[in-house]
Amino acid sequence: MMRMITVVGGGFAGVEAAWAAANRGERVQLFEMRPICETGAHKTDFLAELVCSNSFKSKLLTSPAGQLKAEMLALGSIVLPTAETHSVPGGEALCVDRDEFASAVTEKILNHPLIEVIRQEFTPDMANTLLGQGETLIICTGPLTSRPLGEWLAGLTGKKHLYFYDAVSPTVDASTLDRSIVFAQSRYDKGGDDYLNCPFEKDSYLAFVHELVHAERALPHGVAADDETLEKIKYFAGCTPIEAIAEGGERSLAFGNFKPVGLTDPRTGRRPYAALQLRPENREKTLYSLVACQNRLKWGEQKRIFRMVPGLENAEFVRFGVIHRNTFIDSPKVLTPWLEMQDYPGLFIAGQITGVEGYVESAAMGIYAGIAAVRHTRKVDQIVPPRPSAYGSLISHLQDPTPREFAPMNINWGLFPDPETEIRDKQIKRNWKLKQAQDAFAQWEEKLTETPNQIQ
């Protein structure tokens, strides 16, 4: 039988994985279940359909997304050059005519001599058969993975390592916190100083609660959680949106999510009226999430209201809170740095389902999974992206074992490693990160193209 790589899901990760593998000389079969089965959010039968906005983020090469896109282009992306060809005016962002773009990607994939597109729902039986035969499989079925395949993945990863919903709190860039207000302390000084605390006085707390209760909520669109689904999520994830808790009474947060017990504000020497805690999101502590602040507010409202919290007045948000349907695996527990399941050789996972978020990031993971799958089938060593590169920064999010609510994340400055010696100026620090990323990526790219070492 002729060797073949199987890619499942013709979204952003899937088309990139298929393209990357085929352009490196491997035969690929790409399964896409639309239009035979629907996801509830996609509207067409095109591959690489944009389900919501038509933006591929900033065109600025000096932004985190700009660096990631430069790396993707160097590795041979299909999505980005096609987006350029079908771009429409979008200011600083690379925006596209969605139908022209998706139709052009579909054409290119259909016309590739080494890719066969199969319009069929890929089932657990098919996956087991292929894996049993020692074939290489890349699962890229995205946030709306079909139920049977999702259940199958849950079985492989151990049920507690697969999530069907996002219920995440906002995350902020650590360098934008006001450290003269925010203080590090665990309750009763037990457990080190990993947690940071934003101390409220009574007035600031009541003002915050008032705005929270009256904030504009995001309208359930596509697969955002409606009230019935939310009930199931609450049961599933044990979480209630913070605005719903606040509606329960003026002091409900002060007695619950923001209870100040065991904390002493070093500025006043006494217990604050209430405290919002921040928990590190990564090993390097460049990102912090707002503990127990999952919510369904509009993003602009989240920014406005959480900036009322003492110490967060100038906070930059790298991720906003959401509660919606989203299938993803607990990558730090189950994936290798080259996107292969630790316990299932030959089974690669890519796209949003790995715990990255967004069209660009998902496509980026697709390219890397395609490259890694080719190396696997040829039995050559994997070469992991270097930590300072944009790829390395995303992979570091997927590998970071820090205890946290693991959830999909966009590329952002906080994921790039900080310099060892502190640089206070934000712009100089970002320029430094960018230069490190560029240099590290160039070296990695060179290694990837060198004749690989055969695994013994």
Ligand X SMILES: Cc1cc2nc3c(=O)[nH]c(=O)nc-3n(C[C@H](O)[C@H](O)[C@H](O)COP(=O)(O)OP(=O)(O)OC[C@H]3O[C@@H](n4cnc5c(N)ncnc54)[C@H](O)[C@@H]3O)c2cc1C
The residues of the shown chain that bind ligand X, judged by CB under 6 A, are: 8-14, 31-34, 39, 41-42, 51-53, 121-122, 140-146, 149, 222-223, 351-353, 357-359, 362
Cβ 217 to ligand X shortest distance, Å: 16
Q: State the nearest-atom distance from the C-beta of 2 to ligand X, in Å.
A: 22
Is there a contact between 377 and 406 (Cβ–Cβ < 8 Å)?
Answer: no
Q: Which is nearer to ligand X, 142 or 280 (CB)?
A: 142
The least CB distance from residue 326 to ligand X, in Å, is: 7
At its nearest, how many Å lie between ligand X and the CB of residue 331? Answer: 13
Looking at the Cβ atoms of 140 and 440, the one nearer to ligand X is: 140
Which single residue brings its beta carbon nearest to ligand X? 11
Closest CB to ligand X among residues 150, 272: 150
Cα–Cα–Cα angle for 49, 55, 60, rounded to 5 degrees:
140
Q: How far is the CB of 309 from ligand X (least distance, A)?
A: 27
Nearer to ligand X, 145 or 393 (CB): 145
Q: Which is nearer to ligand X, 166 or 265 (CB)?
A: 166
| Least CB distance to ligand X at residue 20 (A) | 13
- Minimum CB distance to ligand X smaller for 145 or for 331: 145
In this complex, which beta carbon is closest to ligand X, that of residue 310 or of residue 408?
A: 408
CB of 109 to ligand X, least distance (A): 12
